[in-house]
């Protein structure tokens, strides 16, 4: 009974720490993600014959980080211009939305016009602009912190092995800890790399489809599809609904809504249920139920960031738990089939 009480107190303490230290831990976790992506880009750059022979390690690291920085700046610029376009055309969208409500009134004999009109008239455009400005400023600050964390992780990369060797002087302990860390690194980097590739494919196909349909700010919706694809199960559903619902507001008729909903739904289903399992293989060893529960728990702790990172964090937990007798039973319950690769 004491062990159970201590476990509950310990878990409660960890959750409280995660919530209280959210502003510090979230940029650090994103910094680790950027480090994984930069490491993959670095490995691709090292395949270039000239850089492989002549390029020093810091030059290759700089190129990898510069590439990521340029991509982030371009994405931020495009999203900002897309949001500006949406706000500029908000009156047109409001008029189309009013038309939809009137059509619903005439078909179902209900009165929604008064409520919707008052909502639209009381829409605080300056408040939206102010909120967007604050969010962009906060994001910029986070990006700087994320970049700093990633740089320092890279600087520690070359000496971490020596530090671990000095901490664990027993050769067997050193080999075991090194194997656990390597397993965590391989599983996390494989997941992030493969999930990013799948998400890019989903977002790219979605972008082309939305362009063909003539949906405004197609890049914004494609980026939303890309980002939400990291969230298990509900992410792809939400990413499909957002542009489909927006098409109602843009076109003021149900036909584009149905086509986009079905079209994006087929894309999401094929990539998520046919292509992704073949690409991902056995990268993950998580029970589907645990995946959903992890999504809920980490979403409650860290919000949207927790949802995005719930899978890789839980994968790392399973790997660590599987290496100790006291927590191995927990790892078996969390895993997909209760089996683990020998380290």
Checking if the pLDDT of 195 tops 90, the result is no
Contact in structure between 216 and 250 (CB atoms under 8 Å):
yes
Mean pLDDT throughout 154-161? 74
Closest CA to 28 of 181, 146, 152: 146
Give the pLDDT of residue 129: 44
Checking if the pLDDT of 284 tops 60, the result is yes
Contact in structure between 252 and 96 (CB atoms under 8 Å):
yes
Checking if the pLDDT of 121 tops 90, the result is no
Q: Where are the domains of the chain?
A: 26-158
Checking if the pLDDT of 272 tops 50, the result is yes
Checking if the pLDDT of 126 tops 50, the result is no
Give the pLDDT of residue 165: 76
Instruction: Record the pTM.
Output: 0.76
Name the more confident of 185 and 110: 185
Give the pLDDT of residue 127: 52
Contact in structure between 248 and 100 (CB atoms under 8 Å):
yes
Instruction: Name the burial class of residue 67, with classes exposed (0-12), middle (13-18) and buried (19+) by CB atoms within 10 angstroms of its CB.
Output: middle
């Amino acid at each position: 009974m004491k062990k159970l009480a201590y476990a509950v107190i310990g878990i409660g303490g960890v959750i409280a720490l995660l919530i209280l230290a959210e502003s510090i831990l979230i940029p650090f976790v994103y910094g680790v993600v950027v480090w994984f992506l930069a490491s993959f880009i670095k490995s691709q750059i090292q395949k270039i014959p000239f850089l492989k022979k002549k390029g020093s390690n810091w030059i290759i690291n700089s190129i990898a980080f510069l590439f990521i920085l340029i991509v982030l700046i371009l994405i931020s610029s495009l999203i900002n211009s897309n949001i500006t376009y949406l706000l500029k055309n908000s009156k047109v969208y409001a008029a189309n939305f009013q038309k939809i409500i009137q059509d619903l009134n005439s078909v179902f004999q209900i009165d929604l016009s008064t409520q919707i009109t008052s909502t639209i008239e009381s829409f605080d455009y300056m408040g939206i602009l102010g909120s967007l400005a604050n969010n962009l400023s906060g994001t910029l600050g986070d990006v700087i912190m994320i970049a700093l964390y990633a740089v320092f992780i890279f600087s520690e990369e070359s000496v971490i092995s020596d530090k671990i060797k000095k901490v664990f002087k027993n050769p067997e302990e050193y080999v075991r800890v090194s194997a656990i860390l390597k397993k965590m690194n391989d599983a996390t980097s494989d997941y992030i790399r493969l999930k990013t590739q799948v998400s890019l494919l989903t977002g790219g196909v979605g972008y082309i489809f939305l362009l063909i349909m003539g949906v405004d700010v197609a890049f914004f919706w494609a980026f939303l599809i890309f980002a939400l694809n990291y969230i298990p199960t509900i992410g792809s559903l939400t990413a499909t609904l957002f542009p489909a619902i927006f098409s109602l507001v843009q076109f003021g008729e149900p036909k584009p809504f149905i086509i986009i909903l079905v079209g994006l739904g087929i894309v999401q289903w094929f990539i998520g249920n046919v292509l992704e399992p073949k690409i991902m293989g056995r990268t993950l060893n998580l029970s589907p139920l645990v995946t959903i529960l992890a999504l809920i728990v980490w979403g409650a702790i860290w919000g949207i960031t927790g949802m995005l990172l719930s899978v890789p964090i839980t994968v790392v937990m399973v790997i660590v738990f599987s290496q100790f007798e006291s927590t191995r039973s927990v790892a078996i319950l969390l895993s997909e089939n209760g089996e683990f690769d020998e380290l």
